[in-house]
């Protein structure tokens, strides 16, 4: 048997040890608290959690129900334009349609305009990755190495800006709102900027550096389904062009579901519309460009207010109510089991 003293470090040898340092953290001597669960603490936790979730859920549902919203489907009302757009050779032909509706009551406060699409699947894996984030940051990159195919370049080699299937399928209907008051028609002022997230506008999307946008995108071409190049998306506001265009940024944030809505405009609260949208007759004037018939889709335009909890989606409130109900019912079940076992234990003790 080998002498144990041979394991000790000899003179001149470094003392190497696998033992952790003699500290409270590494030797697990930190103070700790181990809860001692009993029937009172367990039932209190379940009932308090249930009461909290039920209270928050009811508040969220009531808040969502207080949102004023009107939704109009214009797929059938613009059927003539829809048939025209199904033929790709008519891409350069304009088509307009109008949709009338009536507001029976005033919509007070900030009013938001959304466009909604139904049966449009943005969650397909190849669709989601079909973009070049480096290009959208304004960098001079080789998009041939990106996932933009087949929307990378034309046959003559001219690269697309922006590239990818997401950008190519961008929603491009133009929607204007008019208020019919007595015998006059008033165009409702709409804000087209300030609708995207700050992080998107200032971090994730940037234009190439140049003295003007047209030269910045020189040598590139628009995607096949676009009617104008990226640097002319907004002819009225030069700052809302290129990759930092609000409509483009919002579209590039893909949806997880086949039916979704995206923020399109906000009503500017001035003059007649200082308090919101007054009751009366209105008309949507739509420049129809986005075809939906081939994938059996529908298109909507939505006017809505918002509250502290967001829009008119009650899902979060329902989730809280379901969680609170489940926690409360679990508390009652545990109470019943405890009482039954205690009664049985008392019976056996008497025996």
pTM: 0.81
3 state DSSP class of 203:
helix
Q: Is residue 267 part of a domain?
A: yes
Q: Is residue 4 part of a domain?
A: no
How far apart, in whole angstroms, are the C-alpha atoms of residue 11 and residue 20?
23
pLDDT of residue 336: 93
Q: Are residues 73 and 179 in the same domain?
A: yes
Q: Are residues 47 and 99 in the same domain?
A: no
Cβ count within 10 A of residue 138: 17
Which letter does DSSP use for residue 165 in this model? H
Q: Are residues 187 and 56 in the same domain?
A: no
Q: Is residue 72 part of a domain?
A: yes
Q: Are residues 237 and 247 in the same domain?
A: yes
Q: Are residues 140 and 269 in the same domain?
A: yes
- In the chain, the number of structural domains is 2
Measured CA distances, 285 to 77, 174, 265 (Å) = 12, 8, 14
Q: Are residues 263 and 284 in the same domain?
A: yes
State which residues form the domain around 92.
Answer: 68-305
pLDDT tens, position by position, for the chain (351 residues)? 455 555 455 555 555 678 888 888 888 888 888 888 888 999 999 999 999 999 999 999 999 999 999 999 999 999 899 888 888 777 778 899 999 999 999 999 999 999 999 999 999 999 999 999 999 999 988 888 889 989 999 999 999 999 999 999 999 999 999 999 888 999 999 999 999 999 999 999 999 998 889 999 999 999 998 989 999 999 889 899 999 999 999 999 999 999 999 999 999 999 999 999 999 999 999 999 998 988 899 999 999 999 888 888 889 999 999 999 999 999 999 999 998 888 776 755 665
Q: Is residue 32 part of a domain?
A: no
Which letter does DSSP use for residue 328 in this model? H
Q: Are residues 49 and 135 in the same domain?
A: no
pLDDT of residue 15: 58
Task: Report residue 100: phi and psi, to 5°.
Answer: -95, 145
- Per-position b or e across 152-186, b if 16+ CB within 10 A of its CB: bbeeeeebbbbbbbbbbbbbbbebebbbeeeeeee
Measured CA distances, 306 to 109, 274, 309 (Å) = 9, 17, 8
Say if CB 82 and CB 291 are below 8 A apart: yes
Q: Is residue 20 part of a domain?
A: no
Q: Are residues 211 and 321 in the same domain?
A: no
Q: Are residues 320 and 265 in the same domain?
A: no
Q: Is residue 33 part of a domain?
A: no
The sign of the dihedral angle between the CA atoms of 133, 135, 139, 144 is positive
pLDDT of residue 203: 92
Q: Are residues 132 and 184 in the same domain?
A: yes
The gap between the terminal CA atoms of the chain, to the nearest Å, is: 64
Q: Is residue 265 part of a domain?
A: yes
Q: Are residues 77 and 180 in the same domain?
A: yes
Q: Are residues 61 and 120 in the same domain?
A: no
Q: Is residue 21 part of a domain?
A: no
CA 284, chain centre distance (Å): 25
């Amino acid at each position: 048997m080998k002498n144990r003293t041979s394991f000790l470090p000899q003179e001149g040898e470094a003392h190497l040890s696998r033992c952790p340092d003699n500290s409270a953290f590494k030797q697990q001597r930190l103070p700790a608290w181990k809860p001692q669960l009993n029937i009172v603490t367990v039932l209190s936790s379940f009932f308090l959690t249930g009461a909290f979730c039920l209270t928050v859920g009811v508040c969220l549902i009531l808040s969502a129900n207080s949102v004023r919203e009107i939704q109009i489907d214009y797929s059938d009302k613009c059927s003539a334009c829809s048939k025209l757009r199904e033929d790709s050779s008519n891409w350069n032909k304009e088509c307009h349609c109008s949709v009338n509706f009536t507001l029976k009551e005033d919509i007070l406060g900030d009013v938001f305009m959304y466009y909604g699409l139904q049966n449009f699947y943005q969650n397909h894996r190849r669709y989601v990755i079909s973009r070049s984030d480096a290009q959208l940051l304004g960098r001079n990159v080789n998009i041939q190495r990106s996932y933009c195919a087949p929307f990378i370049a034309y046959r003559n080699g001219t690269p697309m800006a922006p590239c990818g299937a997401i950008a190519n399928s961008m929603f491009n209907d133009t929607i204007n709102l008019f208020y019919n008051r007595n015998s006059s028609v008033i165009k409702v002022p709409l804000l087209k900027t300030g609708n995207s997230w700050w992080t998107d506008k200032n971090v994730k999307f940037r234009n190439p550096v140049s003295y003007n946008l047209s030269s910045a995108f020189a040598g590139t071409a628009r995607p096949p389904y676009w009617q104008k190049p990226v640097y002319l998306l907004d002819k009225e506001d030069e700052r809302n062009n290129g990759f930092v265009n609000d409509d483009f940024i919002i579209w590039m944030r893909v949806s997880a579901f086949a039916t979704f809505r995206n923020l399109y405009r906000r009503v500017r609260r001035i003059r007649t519309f200082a308090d919101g949208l007054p009751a009366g007759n209105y008309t949507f004037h739509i420049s129809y460009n986005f075809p939906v018939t081939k994938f059996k889709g529908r298109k909507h335009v939505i006017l809505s207010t918002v509250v502290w909890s967001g829009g008119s989606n009650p899902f979060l409130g329902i989730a809280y109510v379901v969680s609170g109900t489940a926690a409360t019912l679990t508390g009652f079940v545990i109470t019943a089991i405890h009482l039954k076992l205690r009664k049985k234990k008392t019976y056996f003790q008497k025996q």
